C-alpha cells in the first residue's frame, strides 16, 4: 500500500489557494470561500471512492465501508478553517493526511475491517459567533441550545449559520454518534510550538490536551470629549481594561509551575466610540485561560474580577460584566492509541516523544465519544496562527506514514482491544 507524496502536496497546495487574496492564510468558517473549499474537498473525497455526507453538526464526512461494520468506525481528520491571517497547515494537514491514508487503502484493494471515516470538522477556530470547535462539540453532544443563540457581528444566530453550512441545528440536543459507534479517532496536526524542532524529534505523540476557558469582559465607563474632560473627571473604560489585561498577564506568570501548565491571553479588544478625540466609554476584551488542570482553570479568573471590582471600578467609577464564552475540559488521549502511535513511529524508524498539547483541538471533544489520539509534526520555529507557519514536506510525509500505519494497526485490533482503549 503506497501513500502518494505528490497527491498529498497537491491537495495541500490546492486547499491553500482558498484564502482571502492578499491575506494568506485566511479561510474563515461560514464564509463563501470556506464553502468553496469544502465543496472541493467533498469532490476529492468522492473521487477517492468515499461516500460523503454533512452531519447535523455541519461536519463534512467521507466514509469507506468496512468488512465488519459491527466493529464501528475508525475516524481521522481535523479542520480546514483558519484564524484571520493564519497559517497554511494548521488543520488542513490533518484532513488531507486522513484522506490520503484512506485513499491509499482504497487503491490497495484491501478492505478494512472497520468502516473508515475522514472528517472535516466545522469551524474549529474561535468563530465570529464566539464559539470554537463547533462541529466536534456538536458531534460529541457538547453544543447546548444556548450556544446556538450566540450571534456574529452581523446578528446571524450560530444555529442559522450551522444550517447554512448544511447542518441541522434542531438535532443537536445530544451526541451525534451512538454509544461505541466510533471505535477510535486519530488527528495529525502541526505542533504549533517549538519542542519537536528544538529537540530534533520527528514525531510528537500527544498524551493530553489542555482545557480552555474563554470569557468576554465588558468594561463600561463614560464616553466624553477628549479635549474638554479634565483627567480627574474621566471614566475611561480603556484604561480600566488595560489594568485588567496587565493583571491577567501577571497572575498567569505567577501561576507558572514545573508540573502544571497554565497560560492566559487577552487576544481581542474592541472599544467604543473608538475615536482619537473621545474618551472610551466601553472596552470589550476576551480572556482565554488554558491549563491541563481543571481546578486551576476554574479558579483563575475570579480573583482578578474581585480585585478589579475593589480597585479599578472604585477608582475610576467603572462597571465590569463577565460573559463566559466557551469551555473545553483538559483531556487525556487513550493509552493504547498513544502506544500504537509510538510503536508506529518506531517501526518506521522515526524518532518520537510523548508530549502535551497546549493547543486546543477537535480531538479534545471527540475523546468524549471514543478512544482518541493525536500526533504532531514539527513546524518552523514553532510558529503558527501567522503566515510564517511552515513545515517541510518530509515532515508531512513522516506524519502521514505514522498516521496510516497507526490506523491500519487499530483496524486490525480486535473490538475488545479497541474497547479497552476507552
Q: Give the span between the Cα atoms of 100 and 94, in whole angstroms.
A: 10
Q: Give the span between the Cα atoms of 120 and 85, in whole angstroms.
A: 20
Minimal distance in Å, beta carbon 361 to ligand HGY? 7
Site for ligand HGY (CB under 6 A): which residue of 161, 342, 359, 377?
Answer: 359
Q: Is 124 a binder of ligand HGY (CB under 6 A)?
A: yes
Q: Is 360 a binder of ligand HGY (CB under 6 A)?
A: yes
Site for Mn ion in 44-63 (CB under 5 A): none
C-alpha torsion 309→311→314→317, nearest 10: -90
- Binding partner at 360 among ligand HGY, Mn ion, none, C-beta below 5 to 8 Å by kind: ligand HGY
Q: Give the span between the Cα atoms of 99 and 41, in whole angstroms.
A: 9
Q: Is 378 a binder of ligand HGY (CB under 6 A)?
A: no
Given a contact cutoff of 8 angstroms between Cβ atoms, the answer to whether 240 and 219 are in contact is: yes
Q: Is 122 a binder of ligand HGY (CB under 6 A)?
A: no
273 upstream amide cis, omega within 30 of 0: yes
Given a contact cutoff of 8 angstroms between Cβ atoms, the answer to whether 72 and 65 are in contact is: no
Cβ distance to ligand HGY smaller for residue 65 or 84:
84
Given a contact cutoff of 8 angstroms between Cβ atoms, the answer to whether 291 and 297 are in contact is: yes
Q: Is 330 a binder of ligand HGY (CB under 6 A)?
A: no
Cβ distance to ligand HGY smaller for residue 104 or 261:
261
C-alpha cell at 372: 482518541
Q: Is 91 a binder of Mn ion (CB under 5 A)?
A: yes
Minimal distance in Å, beta carbon 357 to Mn ion? 10
Q: Give the span between the Cα atoms of 218 and 236, in whole angstroms.
A: 13
Site for Mn ion in 114-143 (CB under 5 A): none
Nearest to 133 by CA among 158, 157, 110, 168: 158
Q: Which residues pair with 118 in a beta bridge?
A: 62, 76
**Residues 6 or more apart from 103 whose CB is under 8 A from it?**
4, 7, 48, 49
Site for ligand HGY (CB under 6 A): which residue of 44, 100, 125, 191?
Answer: 125
Return the range that interacts with Mn ion (CB under 5 A); candidates 83-91, 216-224, 227-235, 349-357.
83-91
Cβ distance to ligand HGY smaller for residue 125 or 411:
125
Site for Mn ion (CB under 5 A): which residue of 55, 90, 191, 389?
Answer: 90
Binding residues (CB under 6 A) for ligand HGY: these are 90, 124-125, 359-360
Binding residues (CB under 5 A) for Mn ion: these are 90-91
Amino acid at each position: 500500500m503506497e501513500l502518494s507524496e505528490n497527491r498529498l502536496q497537491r491537495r495541500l497546495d490546492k486547499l491553500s489557494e482558498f484564502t482571502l487574496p492578499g491575506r494568506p492564510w485566511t479561510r474563515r468558517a461560514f464564509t463563501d470561500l470556506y464553502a468553496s473549499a469544502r465543496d472541493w474537498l467533498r469532490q476529492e473525497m468522492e473521487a477517492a471512492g468515499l461516500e460523503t455526507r454533512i452531519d447535523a453538526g455541519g461536519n463534512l464526512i467521507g466514509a469507506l465501508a468496512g468488512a465488519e461494520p459491527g466493529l464501528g468506525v475508525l475516524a481521522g481528520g481535523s479542520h480546514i478553517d483558519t484564524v484571520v491571517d493564519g497559517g497554511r497547515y494548521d488543520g488542513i494537514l490533518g484532513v488531507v493526511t486522513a484522506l490520503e491514508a484512506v485513499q491509499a487503502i482504497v487503491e490497495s484493494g484491501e478492505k478494512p475491517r472497520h468502516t473508515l471515516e475522514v472528517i472535516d470538522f466545522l469551524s474549529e477556530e474561535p468563530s465570529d459567533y464566539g464559539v470554537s470547535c463547533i462541529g466536534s462539540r456538536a458531534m460529541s453532544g457538547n453544543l447546548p441550545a444556548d450556544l446556538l443563540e450566540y450571534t456574529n457581528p452581523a446578528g446571524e444566530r450560530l444555529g442559522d449559520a450551522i444550517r447554512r453550512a448544511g447542518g441541522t441545528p434542531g438535532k443537536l440536543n445530544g451526541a451525534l454518534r451512538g454509544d461505541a459507534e466510533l471505535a477510535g479517532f486519530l488527528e495529525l496536526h502541526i505542533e504549533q510550538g517549538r519542542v519537536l524542532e528544538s529537540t530534533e524529534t520527528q514525531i510528537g505523540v500527544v498524551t493530553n490536551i489542555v482545557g480552555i476557558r474563554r470569557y468576554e469582559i465588558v468594561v463600561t465607563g463614560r464616553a466624553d470629549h477628549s479635549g474638554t474632560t479634565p483627567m480627574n473627571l474621566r471614566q475611561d473604560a480603556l484604561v480600566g481594561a488595560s489594568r485588567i489585561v496587565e493583571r491577567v498577564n501577571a497572575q498567569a506568570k505567577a501561576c507558572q509551575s514545573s508540573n502544571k501548565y497554565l497560560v492566559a491571553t487577552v487576544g481581542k479588544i474592541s472599544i467604543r466610540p473608538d475615536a482619537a478625540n473621545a474618551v472610551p466609554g466601553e472596552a470589550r476584551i476576551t480572556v482565554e485561560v488554558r491549563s491541563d488542570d481543571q481546578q486551576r482553570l476554574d479558579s483563575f479568573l475570579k480573583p482578578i474580577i474581585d480585585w478589579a471590582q475593589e480597585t479599578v471600578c472604585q477608582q475610576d467609577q467603572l462597571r465590569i460584566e463577565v460573559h463566559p464564552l466557551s469551555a473545553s475540559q483538559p483531556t487525556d488521549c487513550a493509552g493504547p492509541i498513544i502506544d500504537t502511535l509510538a510503536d508506529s513511529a518506531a517501526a518506521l524508524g522515526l524518532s518520537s516523544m510523548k508530549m502535551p498539547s497546549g493547543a486546543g483541538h477537535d480531538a479534545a471533544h471527540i475523546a468524549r465519544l471514543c478512544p482518541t489520539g493525536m500526533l504532531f509534526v514539527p513546524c518552523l520555529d514553532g510558529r503558527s496562527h501567522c503566515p510564517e507557519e511552515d513545515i517541510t514536506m518530509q515532515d508531512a510525509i513522516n506524519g502521514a506514514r505514522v498516521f496510516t500505519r497507526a490506523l491500519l494497526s487499530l483496524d486490525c485490533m480486535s473490538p475488545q482491544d479497541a474497547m479497552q482503549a476507552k
